[in-house]
Amino acid sequence: MHYTPDYFRKERGIDVRTNETVVEVDWNYVVTDRGSKVEWDYLVLATGASPVIPNIPIEGNNVFVIHHPADAVRLREILESMSTVSIIGTGYIGLEVAEALRFRGKDVIMIGRSSYPLRKSLDEDVGRIITNELIKYGVKLRLNERVLEINNRGNKQVIITDGGKYVVDAVIIATGIKPNIELARQLGLRIGETGAVWLMST
């Protein structure tokens, strides 16, 4: 179901503004990239997170992240004509993408620096089950490998890791997210050790 800004305005009394970015925040107002100033009594920061791109040399046009549903739709079309795709990162998004790509008959090379998938969430024994499932479904899993660079050669992408070299049609980077804290920084809010806004426990 799709609710329009107009629906929110009429039915809920909420002034929803899309395609408008808050670029400045102060203690009683915000300013958007369209130049409008909105005053506030209470401010809720719900700016989400953005994909982390590893700080390595990356070249080529076929290197992607998946963040927004629209990215998935766009990628589905782009990858239609491609056969070999590498996923960097063995977290939840990497696994979901691996499943979707295998379902579409793609060759999938999954590269992760940890010793088993979902290492932040699961113990090793469960991680081993997931490892075996991935292999069973034909994913070529390269664990304990750190990607050093992604190069472009003709219409291929060449991934260099500390353990090998992989030539693929496309690369999907799924190496985590970082909180969007620019506005919180402008307000001088304290940032916690995870890089997100620090909150007092209740």
Ligand X SMILES: Cc1cc2nc3c(=O)[nH]c(=O)nc-3n(C[C@H](O)[C@H](O)[C@H](O)COP(=O)(O)OP(=O)(O)OC[C@H]3O[C@@H](n4cnc5c(N)ncnc54)[C@H](O)[C@@H]3O)c2cc1C
What does the binding site for ligand X look like in residue numbers (CB under 6 A)? Answer: 21-22, 46-49, 66-67, 93, 180, 183
Query: How far apart are CB 196 and ligand X at their closest, in Å?
Result: 10
- 50 versus 83: smaller Cβ distance to ligand X: 50
- 47 versus 152: smaller Cβ distance to ligand X: 47
Question: What residue number has its CB nearest to ligand X?
Answer: 48
- 75 versus 134: smaller Cβ distance to ligand X: 75
Query: How far apart are CB 128 and ligand X at their closest, in Å?
Result: 23
Query: How far apart are CB 46 and ligand X at their closest, in Å?
Result: 5
Query: How far apart are CB 189 and ligand X at their closest, in Å?
Result: 14
Which 3-state string (H, E, C) describes the chain? CCCCHHHHHHHHCCCCCCCCCEEEECCCEEEECCCCEEECCCCCCCCCEEECCCCCCECCCCEEECCCHHHHHHHHHHHCCCCEEEEECCCHHHHHHHHHHHHCCCEEEEECCCCCCCCCCCCHHHHHHHHHHHHHCCCEEECCCCEEEEEEECCEEEEEECCCEEEECEEEECCCEEECCHHHHHHCCCECCCCCECCCCC
